[in-house]
Amino acid sequence: MKSLISTLALLCTPVMANHLELQINNVSNEQGKVYIELFKGAQNYKAGKSYIQNIISAKAGTIKANFSDIESGEYVVRFFHDVNSNAQLDTNFFGIPTEGVGFSNNATMQFGPPKYQDMAITIKNGNNLEITNISY
């Protein structure tokens, strides 16, 4: 009976074989790290609750980050290049980033962060690729 219940529980568990490869272009140098956050849905983005976080070493040019076993749905990706390795996005007196930043869908900042709908991407079943640029 226990094995039957275990088998049924496994069959009811959703299989998440979705994969996202994030390609970030225009990284200025090899100093520091790139901090990446993936948010599932507008509500989680507005609340600052990331679905997945990743930190990768910076490399001049193009870098790639991979996210496996993620649910299908709408997401936003935001990232920054922490050049001075202080684990935070540095800004000037006016709050404008002094380190590189970027968003999914190549959304750009204009008097503040981009709107959610400008950053939103859809993760579909299988392999997904998001190519975006970092701005300094």
Mean confidence (pLDDT) of the chain: 92
What's the pLDDT tens digit per position in 53-99? 999 999 999 999 999 999 999 999 999 999 999 999 999 999 999 99
pTM equals: 0.86
Mean pLDDT, to the nearest integer, of 32-49?
A: 98
Give the DSSP H/E element, type plus range, for residue 73.
strand 73-82
Q: How confident is the model at residue 43 (pLDDT cuts 50, 70, 90)?
A: very high
Domain ranges of the chain: 16-133
Q: How confident is the model at residue 41 (pLDDT cuts 50, 70, 90)?
A: very high
Give the homologous superfamily in CATH for domain 16-133.
Answer: Immunoglobulins (2.60.40.10)
